[in-house]
A and B are shown apart, each in its own frame.
Chain A
Amino acid sequence: MLTLNHFLALGAILFAIGLYGLLSRRNLVAILMSVEILLNAILVNVVAIARFNDQAQGDVFALFIIAIAAAEVAVGLALFLNVFRLNGVATVDPLRRMKE
């Protein structure tokens, strides 16, 4: 029997994968994609909850999350272009350097 918990577990696994990617990848574009995985992990949860509660509110929330993702990607890629033009590399290494 398929229950809500299955979907919540799937969401949690995806979220964990996204987190790992965000923390371990050095390539900035890959990090941005990991953020997308995080948001999609949440989307799985939200849509499943909405369907199991049979409420349209959750679907609307999912719609908003997609809109937020779109806006974030636009700004994130613009910032990335900025860094890439200055450094000529697409990795986080220059960002780490700031700590010193």
Chain B
Amino acid sequence: MLTFVVLSVLMIVGAVGVITLKQPVHAALSLVATLLTLAVTYVTLQAHFLAAIQVIVYAGAIMVLFLFVIMLLNIQGDQPQPHFRWMQIVAYLTALLAAGAIAATAFLSPRELPNAELMSEALAGGGAAAIGEALFNDFVLAFQLVGVLLLTGIIGAVSLVQRKATQTAKDERELSGV
């Protein structure tokens, strides 16, 4: 129960950070915090495979895409932000709270390492094997359609961005009078 409360508080604080912080980079990092806390929540729910996917795909790949765009375009915040001293204090406090929370979850709900048999039982529903079985028995069509979806995303994104490149090249040719 305590674990849940701590994790949800962290998650909510992170989410509030995303929607209130002025600088997009700060908001993105705040989102990373939410996503990672969510991954920990999955672990408490015994959904280990999903927790791994959440970290690798969501907090990893998707967030890198976000940060990449933010850095690439050097996007500024909504308005120039004076550097407040108290903001720093709040930031430190949040970090301390987070560290304390992680320590608390680690020590306050000690769980003995189960033997291998129990462990495999615990992993039954949320482990990779169970998910794989469901995926390739009940959701084959959906699995294929996700492939189509990603293909659509790729063709769409590439054709949007690539066209700009050809257009720019054309403009430059025209400018140089060729």
Known: A2-B4, A27-B24, A82-B164. A37 touches B15 (CB 8 A): yes
Q: Which residues of chain A have C-beta atoms less than 8 A from B35's C-beta? A: 36, 40
Q: Which residues of chain B have C-beta atoms less than 8 A from A2's C-beta? A: 1, 4
Per-position 1/0 for A12-26, Cβ under 8 A of B? 011001101100111
Q: Which residues of chain A have C-beta atoms less than 8 A from B134's C-beta? A: 55-57, 59-60
Chain A contributes a number of interface residues (CB within 8 A of B) equal to: 57
Q: Which residues of chain B have C-beta atoms less than 8 A from A56's C-beta? A: 125-126, 130-131, 133-134
User: How many of chain B's residues touch chain A, expressed as a range?
Assistant: 35 or more
Q: Which residues of chain A have C-beta atoms less than 8 A from B104's C-beta? A: none
Are A59 and B12 closer than 8 Å at their CB atoms? no
Interface SS of B by simple majority: helix
Distance (whole angstroms) from the CB of B50 to the closest CB of chain A? 6
Of the listed stretches B71-79, B86-94, B112-120, chain A binds B71-79
Known: A29-B66, A59-B134, A66-B58. A50 touches B8 (CB 8 A): no
Are B70 and A17 closer than 8 Å at their CB atoms? no
Bound Cα distance A72, B45 (Å): 27
Are B157 and A37 closer than 8 Å at their CB atoms? no
Bound Cα distance A43, B11 (Å): 13
Partner of A54, one of B41, B125, B154, B161: B125
Give 7 closest A-B pairs by Cβ, nearest first.
A21-B19, A71-B153, A56-B134, A78-B157, A56-B130, A78-B160, A51-B45
Can you pick out 19 interface pairs between chain A and chain B where the beta carbons lie within 8 Å of each other? A10-B8, A13-B8, A29-B66, A29-B70, A30-B19, A32-B66, A36-B31, A43-B54, A51-B47, A56-B133, A59-B131, A64-B142, A66-B58, A68-B146, A70-B61, A71-B150, A75-B157, A77-B157, A84-B75
Other 20 A-B pairs with CB < 8 A, given A48-B45, A71-B153 = A14-B12, A17-B15, A29-B70, A33-B66, A40-B35, A43-B38, A44-B41, A51-B125, A56-B125, A59-B47, A59-B49, A59-B125, A59-B126, A60-B142, A70-B57, A71-B150, A73-B62, A73-B66, A81-B69, A82-B164
